[in-house]
């Protein structure tokens, strides 16, 4: 029997050493001791407050295309998924989204999309330069999957500052179970290194409760985060997408996601950590709970209304209500009820590398 006091000792040790052992991780993920879990969340929330004050950063998410040449087994917009109405935004539409976002107070634009060959380097660099020229004080974040190093370099030179590329899993064997044979674990890791070396603020991340995930693979994920020291980490529960090979797999747990958010905050205090849409999809207060467990970023959707339901990487993805950027003021209210202040600034990492 482990007592609440023992868990407190584990949590203190994790926070102090900024490291966790496989046994400590297993203990924190499996305990039914609600008091212990509360201590974990409070420690992580306090750590976020220590580093970033009570600020929560808002990013405007623009889903520029749901075309994808990749075939990740879990994803609802994978290449071989039938019945998806595919769309891509024009440059004008993307710039309109930025304009609306700027007026709503957003100072970071996140351009996210499937791996769509239409958005080659010339097109993408034009769009990035336009945004950079129109909004010199804003951060531009890209999330466009794997590209050659030269491509990342050109996008960086065009004015992009940040790049999100979830590593998906730090275990090569697990990676192979989630992806088709043509995709490579090593290549994905190489992309993250390239982005880092070029000077992007980098975000990695993974799904919680993805098929075949174990405490050991999660342990590897946490060690990867400790090694890479990314500026951002995106995690959210796995949610099955109908029509994919994993359609019948169970969804990841909200509670485990919250515990992992808290552990990541303790291991890497300066990280920018979103309370993701997937968390909000599985629980009506998922995002608020995420903030109370150490997250400090929210990413409301700025995409045109007509496209939002088409970017269906999993079933029932939130795309209206507080997910819609129009309700930015609503999000601000909900955050202020938690004592958090939705910050209207770029929200750069607290520590330069």
Nearest distance, CB of residue 314 and ligand 5AD, angstroms: 4
Determine, following the binding rule CB under 6 A, whether residue 208 of this chain makes contact with ligand 5AD.
no
Q: Is 213 helix (H, G, I), strand (E, B) or coil?
A: coil
Rounded Cα gap, residues 174 and 178, in angstroms? 7
Q: Which stretch binds ligand 5AD (CB under 6 A): 9-17, 31-39, 231-239, 267-275?
A: 231-239
Nearest distance, CB of residue 236 and ligand 5AD, angstroms: 6
Determine, following the binding rule CB under 6 A, whether residue 74 of this chain makes contact with ligand 5AD.
yes
Rounded Cα gap, residues 324 and 63, in angstroms? 12
Distances in Å between the alpha carbon of 180 and those of 67, 254, 320? 17, 27, 32
Contact set for ligand 5AD, span 323-352 (CB under 6 A) = none
Q: Which stretch binds ligand 5AD (CB under 6 A): 27-35, 123-131, 238-246, 291-299?
A: 238-246
Residue from 156, 219, 238, 311 binding ligand 5AD (CB under 6 A) = 238
Nearest distance, CB of residue 104 and ligand 5AD, angstroms: 23
Determine, following the binding rule CB under 6 A, whether residue 64 of this chain makes contact with ligand 5AD.
no
Rounded Cα gap, residues 70 and 77, in angstroms? 9
Nearest distance, CB of residue 143 and ligand 5AD, angstroms: 7
Determine, following the binding rule CB under 6 A, whether residue 207 of this chain makes contact with ligand 5AD.
yes
74 vs 109, beta carbon nearer ligand 5AD = 74
Nearest distance, CB of residue 191 and ligand 5AD, angstroms: 12
Q: What angle do CA 152, 156, 157 make, to 5 degrees?
A: 120
Which is nearest to 324 in space by CA: 280, 292, 274?
A: 280
Rounded Cα gap, residues 163 and 201, in angstroms? 6
Determine, following the binding rule CB under 6 A, whether residue 185 of this chain makes contact with ligand 5AD.
no
Determine, following the binding rule CB under 6 A, whether residue 241 of this chain makes contact with ligand 5AD.
yes
Q: Which stretch binds ligand 5AD (CB under 6 A): 8-16, 195-203, 233-241, 302-310?
A: 233-241
Determine, following the binding rule CB under 6 A, whether residue 111 of this chain makes contact with ligand 5AD.
no
CB 55 within 8 A of CB 347: yes
DSSP lists the bridge partners of residue 60 as 109
Distances in Å between the alpha carbon of 243 and those of 75, 77, 79, 248, 315? 9, 10, 12, 9, 10
Rounded Cα gap, residues 153 and 147, in angstroms? 10
Rounded Cα gap, residues 7 and 2, in angstroms? 7
Rounded Cα gap, residues 137 and 146, in angstroms? 27
Tokens coding 17: 């050493």
Q: Which stretch binds ligand 5AD (CB under 6 A): 1-9, 83-91, 102-110, 232-240?
A: 232-240
Residue from 225, 278, 297, 299 binding ligand 5AD (CB under 6 A) = 278
77 vs 293, beta carbon nearer ligand 5AD = 77
CB 139 within 8 A of CB 346: yes
CB 59 within 8 A of CB 77: no
Determine, following the binding rule CB under 6 A, whether residue 261 of this chain makes contact with ligand 5AD.
no
Rounded Cα gap, residues 169 and 236, in angstroms? 13
Determine, following the binding rule CB under 6 A, whether residue 175 of this chain makes contact with ligand 5AD.
no
Nearest distance, CB of residue 68 and ligand 5AD, angstroms: 10
Tokens coding 262: 């808290």
Residue from 160, 178, 218, 313 binding ligand 5AD (CB under 6 A) = 313
Residue from 169, 259, 314, 342 binding ligand 5AD (CB under 6 A) = 314
Determine, following the binding rule CB under 6 A, whether residue 268 of this chain makes contact with ligand 5AD.
no
Which residues contribute to the site for ligand 5AD (CB under 6 A)?
74-75, 166, 168, 207, 236, 238-239, 241, 278, 313-314
């Amino acid at each position: 029997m482990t007592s609440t006091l023992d868990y407190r000792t584990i949590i203190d040790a994790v926070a102090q050493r900024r490291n966790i052992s496989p046994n400590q991780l297993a203990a924190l993920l499996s305990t039914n001791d609600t008091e212990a879990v509360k201590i974990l969340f409070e420690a992580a929330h306090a750590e976020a407050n220590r580093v970033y004050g009570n600020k929560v950063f808002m990013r405007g998410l623009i889903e520029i295309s749901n075309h994808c040449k990749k075939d990740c087994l879990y994803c609802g917009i994978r290449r071989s998924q039938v019945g998806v109405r595919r769309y891509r935004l024009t440059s004008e539409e993307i710039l309109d989204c930025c304009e609306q976002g700027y007026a709503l107070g957003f100072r970071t634009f996140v351009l996210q999309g499937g791996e769509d060959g239409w958005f080659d380097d010339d097109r993408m660099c034009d769009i990035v330069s336009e945004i950079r020229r129109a909004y010199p004080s804003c951060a531009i974040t890209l999330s466009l999957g794997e590209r050659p190093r030269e491509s990342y370099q050109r996008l960086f030179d065009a004015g992009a500052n940040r790049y999100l590329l979830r590593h998906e899993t730090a275990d090569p064997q697990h990676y192979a179970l989630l992806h088709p044979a043509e995709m490579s674990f090593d290549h994905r890791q190489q992309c993250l290194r390239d982005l880092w070396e070029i000077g992007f603020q980098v975000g990695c991340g993974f799904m919680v409760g993805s098929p075949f995930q174990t405490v050991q693979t999660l342990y590897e994920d946490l060690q990867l985060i400790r090694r890479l020291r990314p500026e951002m980490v995106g995690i959210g529960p796995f949610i099955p997408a109908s029509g994919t090979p994993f359609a019948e797999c169970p969804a990841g747990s909200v509670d485990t996601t919250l515990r992992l958010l808290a552990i990541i905050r303790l291991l890497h205090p300066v990280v920018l950590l979103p309370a993701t849409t997937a968390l909000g999809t599985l629980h009506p207060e998922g995002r608020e709970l995420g903030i109370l467990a150490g997250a400090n970023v929210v990413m409301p959707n700025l995409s045109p209304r007509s496209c939002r339901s088409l970017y269906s990487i999993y079933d029932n993805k939130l795309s209206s209500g507080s997910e819609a950027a129009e309700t930015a003021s609503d999000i601000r209210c909900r955050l202020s009820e938690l004592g958090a202040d939705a910050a209207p600034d770029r929200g750069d990492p607290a520590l330069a590398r």
